[in-house]
Amino acid sequence: MSKYKRIIFFRTDMLGDTILNLPVIDALKNLYADCHITLVCHPSLVDFLDGHPAIDRFIPWEAGRRKASLTEFRSLLAQVKRGGFELAIISNARKDLHLITFLSGIQRRIGYRRKWGFLLTDALDDRKFLGQKHEIESNLALLSPLGIRLDAPVFTIPGALQDMRSAEELLLREQIASNSSFIILHPLSTDPRKCWTAENFAKLMDAIKKNAHVEIVLIGSKEESTFADALIARSSHRIYNLAGKTSLKSLCGVIRKSLLLIGHDSGPMHLAAGVGTPTVSIFAKFPGGPDPRRWKPWGEGHTLLHEALDKLSADEVWQHVCLKLSQIQPSALK
């Protein structure tokens, strides 16, 4: 089938939301095998996603979570017009993106029935907030106007060789033995309400070091490195801090090498799911908090803890970590 030759896909926010659209892009490439797909995404993701077999070209766009300036709007409009696209799919509903695809004269425009959704040719009701489906399944519904339905989508992040080389270089610089067994902790989130306490993470680190033959590696953004340092200072054991030191490629490679990732609802959690690394994922239970039915790590091999954080003890999390290690690598336990 080769109805659409040139396709443009819009997902302009950050890591987790974007990579959860990769199954949609894969499905498009599988349906229209000789098509050319352009992804409009945040500039920070271009290098990480470059080389993805289903994506032929990138248009980086800075205004992912804010209103675009007139200059940014005109620049993107000009690039889209030059692309000669026949099909546009807008995964994150925005007035400016709907208007750009309309003004560009793209024949088929698929998205959600909100934020000027009347400018689309195919507008779907956005029911994601109901939490009835996983985000990946909801994203795939964008393909329903094209007659595409996937009952068992596969979520994988390609690029293992390049990621692993980048990770090996990073581990060497940080003096972490490349053959060591390690667990990753991602202790922070952009939303403080999602975050387990530093005291509990410190207790968990001590329990891991006391009962398992593994190293502990902390990850996070540059802004989170100070918190990671303070967390390490609470422990009498050697803990490695990679917060602020990873590119997305090296982070992906480090996660691929790890036994397990422990953390909150976050981009790294979804990265782990995409590369096949098990997780123990802590979902804070509070009014309006993230619905695990929608945001849990995709696939098998994950433990999900959905509790009020003041009721979740370090010992309880350690028991789940211990069980997971006994399944993954029993020799890691003392």
In tens, the pLDDT along 162-189 reads 788 889 999 999 999 878 899 999 998 8
Q: What length does the chain have?
A: 334
3-class DSSP state for residue 126? coil
Residue 101 tokens read as 């695809």
Residue 139 tokens read as 């994203």
For each of the domains in the chain, give its residue range(s) and CATH number, in order of start: 6-146 (3.40.50.2000), 160-332 (3.40.50.2000)
Q: Which of 28, 163, 40 is nearest to 98 (CA)?
A: 40
3-class DSSP state for residue 112? strand
pLDDT tens by residue, 291-307 = 999 999 999 999 999 99
Neighbours of 203 (CB within 10 A): 18
Residue 198 tokens read as 């530093």
Q: What pLDDT does 97 receive?
A: 97
Do the Cβ atoms of 251 and 271 come closer than 8 Å? yes
What is the SS3 assignment for 34-73? CCEEEEEECHHHHHHHCCCCCCCEEEECCCCCCCCCHHHH
End-to-end CA distance of the chain: 56
Q: What pLDDT does 329 receive?
A: 94
Asked if the model's pLDDT at residue 1 lies above 60, the reply is: no
Residue range 80-88: mean pLDDT, rounded: 97
Residues 6+ apart with CB under 8 A from 93: 111, 112, 114, 115, 117, 126
Asked if the model's pLDDT at residue 65 lies above 80, the reply is: no
Residue range 58-78: mean pLDDT, rounded: 91
Do the Cβ atoms of 257 and 164 come closer than 8 Å? yes
Residue range 37-53: mean pLDDT, rounded: 94
pTM for the model:
0.92
Residue 83 tokens read as 């692309």
H or E element in which residue 153 lies: none
Predicted confidence band of residue 160 (pLDDT cuts 50, 70, 90): confident
pLDDT tens by residue, 230-257 = 999 999 999 999 999 999 999 999 999 9
